Every structure is written in structure tokens, then in C-alpha cells.
Chains A and B, each alone.
Chain A
Amino acid sequence: MNVPENLKYTTDHEWVKVEGKTALIGVTDYAQGELGDVVFIDLDPELEQITKGESFGTIEAVKTVSDMFAPLSAKVVEVNPKLEDEPQLVNSDPYGEGWFIKIELEDESALADLLDAAAYKAQIGG
């Protein structure tokens, strides 16, 4: 199971990748494997704000639909424009091109509640 060391994780199988004053959010390799073929992503292209613990969109896969829960509260600066036409990027490259949103990261202390790679691995039994 691919769980990169440099990311932060949630118990809802999302990852957060810090890149200076911004961060990317996506779903983990484990999650995409459980979901199976992703058919489309229901994500508002004009999304401006996410609120910790609340759903900000859904992933529609063949067998199931899954909410995406915000790992923290933040301002959204970009929604991945590629997912509209290529939702399967979530399956093929969950930590790379399959990212969902880019947020503004004002304060890294907002990440304090998130899991590190070892803790997330333990959660998924890897």
C-alpha cells in the first residue's frame, strides 16, 4: 500500500500535501482502491471555502459514492481542472495528478490533528 511519508492524512482517507503557503488535498491510494473505477467527481469548480469535517464534494465510483470531507477549514485557491474530463486520474495517480483542491494554508498548526504516514498505515492495517 502506497502511503508517502511526506504527507498528512485523515481517518477519512484524504491526504494533505503542504507546499509552502498552500496545500493540496486528495484521496489516498487505499481509498481509490476501495472505491474502484471513479466515474466522475462532483466538485463545484467555483468552490471558495471548505469547513473542517464538512463534505465539499463527492466521488462517484462504479460501486459506491463517497463524500470528501474537509480535513481543515481553509480558503480554496484552485479546483483541479483536469478531473472534469479525466476523473480516472484519481485511480491512476492519487497522490499526483489526481489531487482535488488547492487551499491557502495560513497556519500549519491547522494540521496538528492530522495523522502522519505511520499512524495512517496503522489505521488501514498496512
Chain B
Amino acid sequence: MKKTKFNRVHEKLGAKLVDFAGYEMPVVYTSIIAEHKVVRESVGVFDVSHMGEVFVRGEKALDFVQSITVNDASKLFNGRVQYSAMCYPDGGIVDDLLVYKVSDTEFMLVVNASNLEKDFAWMNENNKFGVELVDESDEYSLLAVQGPNSTAVIQKLTETTVEMEYYHFIKANVAGVDMILSRTGYTGEVGYELYFKGNEQDAENVWNAVFEAGKEFDIQPTGLGARDSLRLEMGYCLYGNDIDKTTNPLEAGLGWITKLKQEGDFIAKDVLSKVKEEGVTRKLVAMITDEKRAFPRHGYEITVNGEVVGHITSGTVSPVLDKPVALGYVKKEYANEGGTVNWKIRDKEIPVSIIKLPFVKK
């Protein structure tokens, strides 16, 4: 199993380590619920170094990115990040990703760890523009510092002004290390993602500096368990749960990143345009209930009058709302905000409301 450069730190902190996408990753340090609340109320630090970083370099870098992703990367300027997805010709999703425009001739694509190998092969297979594709995932460490106090923490570690708008990034020297400092995250909170190279000792130095700076805010290490419940409260999709090669971006509620009106072509543009025209057959919906004794989970059936009309793709009991919440695909005719469906949990059917995302309003 692969280890991130923070593995020794996690061991020392007594984290519960699990195999995630081939990496030994911390799922929880003390309590998922407590770690979740730390991020909502103050600041937490996630090691997400397992994520993949692929660099696209060359004169035709933009053309390549445009052809392989569904969003319109021509709208990007240097220092701007975009959420996007890659699709197969049939419209199924290869992966969702972040596109960073570094310069006219360089983009960084940040992909899911579990998909890296497949994504990199897909990119190479579809490299009709002679761009250079370099997988630098093993060289990069990635820390996500997330929460309302994250700006104050990061600002203590650099001379550069770190306050910036969501989905922007700068190159800065933070804690003595040159890095990409990005105003992104997967939590819905103000937060930063720190991409930097170096060995284990360098990584530990950054970790220690962040925790020293965050002491006054009672900064805490936070694991993948909290990351999952935080993203679910916001309704962000997780590849492998809510989206995969059998789902298209339109039914997944990702129409807002699927720019079908852009001039250029991209893989699946024709198929997705047709889906848009004819309408989707099912939709990813957000569901919630006041019934306390229900824990929705991936794979549970969604029913209406005893008929199975869909499945839950992600679920939890929201630590902030203290209510069960879930995402799931539902046949289009039942997928209306304000409507009611049921979760089938073992022998019980629990009525739930379909609402507008996010579950937790920020």
C-alpha cells in the first residue's frame, strides 16, 4: 500500500488508517462527528495527498483541456480554477476534476486518486494535440486547511496576501516552502489547499507550521470520514458513489459545468446535447427527513407506493442539522423539489422530502 509523506504524523496521532484508493489514509483521528464540527466552527487539516496531479504542457494545452473536459476552459485566466468532468463518448463520467490554469501553456488537472491510472490512460489515448502529459502525483503533497479560521492560519505563514476569492490560486511561499496555494476545498467552508513538493521531512515541517499557527484556534487533524460528511452536507458529488461511468453529468445535477453551448467540441458533447434536448430519465436529488432513527446508506432503495423508483448513492446523519440526509437517483417523474419519496431501510419505509441543495446553507 502507498503512503503519503504524512504517514508518520498520522501514526503518531493514533489515526485509524484504512486502505483508500491504494493509499494508507487516515479516516478518523478521534471522532468523525467532532472532526466535522471543527471544520464547520474553526479549522481542520486534511491530508489529501492521495489526489492525482496531472500537468498538461505545450502550445495546445488549452485545446487539449477543451476537448477532454465538459466545462469551458477558455473562460479561465492564469490563477483561476474550474470544476469540471471528463466523459466517455456515451456521456458516462470518467472522472470529475479541478482544472487549474497556470499559464497559456500549462494546466494542472487534479483528479481522484482512485481514478488516476484510468484518467491518465484516457488523457493519453485522447491526446490529439501533441501536448506533454506528466503525472506528478507522487511528487506532490496536498493539505486541505478548511474552516472559518483557515485564512487567519495561512496568513500567519506567509508574506503574501492569502485572502482571495473561491476557486482562485496563487503561487506563494508558505511556511518556507514554494507552493500552489488554492482557495478550494470539498467542505463548503472557506479553505485552502496547499500543493507542494519535497520529502517526508519537508511535509512534516509544513504540517507542524500549520498546527503551530492554528494553535490559537484549536486547529485539529481531520480525516476522510469528516471530509465525506462535510461534502455531503453541501451536496457535492463523490465519484464512485454519486457519479461514475454509468451516470451522465446532466442527470447528476452537473449541468452547470456542462457547457453545451461553447463553440468547440468535447468528448460526449453530441450525446449530452441530445440528452439535454430529450430530457433526462432520472435525476440526482437531495433528500432529508425529521425521522431521527434512520441512517441512509449507499445502495438502499428509494420507493413510491411500494415501487422502487431509485437508489441512495450517499447518505449520512448530518452532524450540523442532526437529521438524516442523502443523495440518490430517482426516476424523473418523482424527482421534484418539495415532493416525497421513501427510503427503504431493512423492513421500514421512511418518508423523506426532496429539497434543494445544499443541506447546510452557508
Chain A positions within 8 Å of B, measured between CB atoms, are 36-37, 39-40, 42, 58, 60, 62-63, 65, 91
Of the candidates A37, A60, A65, the one whose C-beta lies within 8 Å of that of B31 is: A37
CB-based contact B317/A36 at 8 Å: no
Q: Which of A39, A42, A62 has the largest number of chain B CB atoms within 10 A?
A: A62
Q: State A37–B37 Cα separation when bound (angstroms).
A: 13
Question: Is the CB of B28 closer than 8 A to any CB of chain A?
Answer: yes
Distance to closest chain A CB from B148 (angstroms):
23
Of listed B31, B295, B317, B346, residue having the most chain A CB within 10 A: B295
Cα separation A58 to B33 with both chains bound (whole Å): 20
Q: What's the A-B contact tally at a CB cutoff of 8 Å?
A: 28
- What is the CA–CA distance of A60 and B317 in the complex, to the nearest angstrom? 10
B261 in the interface (beta carbon within 8 A):
no
CA distance A65 to B292 in the complex (A): 15
A66 → B minimal CB distance (Å): 11
Name the residue on A nearest B316 (C-beta): A62
Q: Which of A36, A37, A42, A65 contacts B293 (CB 8 A)?
A: A42
How long is the Cα–Cα vector from A65 to B316 in the complex, in angstroms? 11
B18 to A, closest residue via Cβ = A63
Question: In the complex, which residues of chain A have a beta carbon less than 8 angstroms from the beta carbon of B33?
Answer: 37, 62
A40-B294 Cα distance, complex, nearest whole Å:
8
* A36, A39, A58, A65: the one within 8 Å of B28 (CB): A36
Residues of chain A within 8 A of B297, CB atoms compared: 65
- Contact present for B229 and A62 (CB under 8 Å): yes
Assess whether A40 is in contact with B225, with CB atoms less than 8 Å apart.
Answer: no
- 9 further A-B contacts with Cβ under 8 Å, apart from A39-B317, A60-B295, are A36-B16, A36-B32, A37-B32, A58-B346, A62-B32, A62-B317, A63-B27, A63-B32, A63-B225
Interface pair B295/A39, CB less than 8 Å apart: yes
What is the CB-to-nearest-CB distance from A17 to chain B, in angstroms, rounded to a whole number? Answer: 26
Instruction: Verify A62–B225 contact, CB threshold 8 A.
Output: yes
Q: Which residues of A contact B31 (CB under 8 A)?
A: 36-37, 91
Q: Which residues of A contact B293 (CB under 8 A)?
A: 40, 42
Q: How far is the CA of A39 from the CA of B293 in the complex (A)?
A: 9
Q: Within the assembled complex, what's the spacing in Å between the Cα atoms of A62 and B295? A: 8
- Smallest Cβ distance from B31 to chain A, in angstroms? 5
User: With a CB–CB cut-off of 8 A, which chain B residues contact A91?
Assistant: 31
The complex places the Cα of A37 from the Cα of B293 at a distance, in Å, of 15
Chain B residues positioned under 8 Å from A58 (CB to CB): 346
Complex Cα gap A91–B28 (Å): 14
